[in-house]
Amino acid sequence: MVVVSAARYEAEPLLAAFPGWQYIEFGVGVFAASVAAVENRHHLDGQDILYVGSCGGFKPFTGIEVVRGESIAWLPTCERMSASYTVADTPVLAMPCRPEFRSVAGCRVICAPNISKRLTHQDEHQVENIEAYAFFHPIHPHIRSAQILLAITNQVGEHAHQQWQANYSQAAEQIQDVVKKLSIH
């Protein structure tokens, strides 16, 4: 298993619990994620990838919840608000998941190069993460499986950053707790 995250603190509890797993920190933002994926593609070919991090939910935030990304869509905020349109098709990526992870509640991961300041819609089956699409798009055809575990740390919108700041450290612990319960080898 190769664990990947934007920042090391997102994976530290998991790496402490599973010391034999490999790790790649790809950096914050879409450009850093995409460059790291391309630079590490040879190392990721045929591998099981465990992507961990935080995300915002499109529903009222009531506490940290760990979800599994079933698919990833590139959908910038302006497009969600019907304020723009894209000139190129960006496919939705279906994520091939190992059976052990299917017990974690699934959702669609919406990605954009920025964080939404306004809640554009409510949907309990969608979350917003910056880097997932940019990281997986270049390597998706070459990996064996992709487990995306994200901790919802906030509601998308005006108070998202303050909620994230209050919850991000607990989010990494909760992801580790979920993975330990799944009996992953």
Sequential pLDDT tens for the chain (185 residues): 999 999 999 999 999 999 999 999 999 988 999 999 999 999 999 999 999 999 999 889 999 999 999 988 877 554 544 544 555 566 778 888 888 999 999 998 887 766 665 556 566 788 989 899 999 989 988 999 999 999 999 998 888 889 999 999 999 999 999 999 997 76
- Residue closest to 33 by CA, chosen among 12, 11, 5: 5
Statement: the pTM of the whole predicted model exceeds 0.85: yes
Return d(Cα 87, Cα 102) in angstroms, integer.
34
DSSP state at residue 88: S
Please report, for residues 8, 82, 117, the alpha-carbon distance to residue 26 in angstroms, rounded to integers and kept in the order given: 9, 31, 25
What per-residue confidence (pLDDT) applies to 122? 65
Side-chain-facing half-sphere of 122: CA atoms under 13 Å: 3
Domain containing 11 — which CATH number? 3.40.50.1580
Q: What is the predicted pLDDT for the residue at 127?
A: 92
The residues, ordered by sequence, that sit 6+ positions from 28 with a Cβ below 8 Å of its Cβ are 6, 7, 130, 131
Residue 46 domain boundaries: 2-181
Contact 41, 88 (CB under 8 A): no
The answer to whether 68 touches 148, Cβ cutoff 8 Å, is yes
154 near 57, Cβ under 8 Å?
Answer: yes
Q: Look at the chain and report how many structural domains it folds into.
A: 1
| Nearest to 102, CA basis, from 176, 33, 184 | 184
Q: What six digits make up the tokens of 100? A: 């052990």
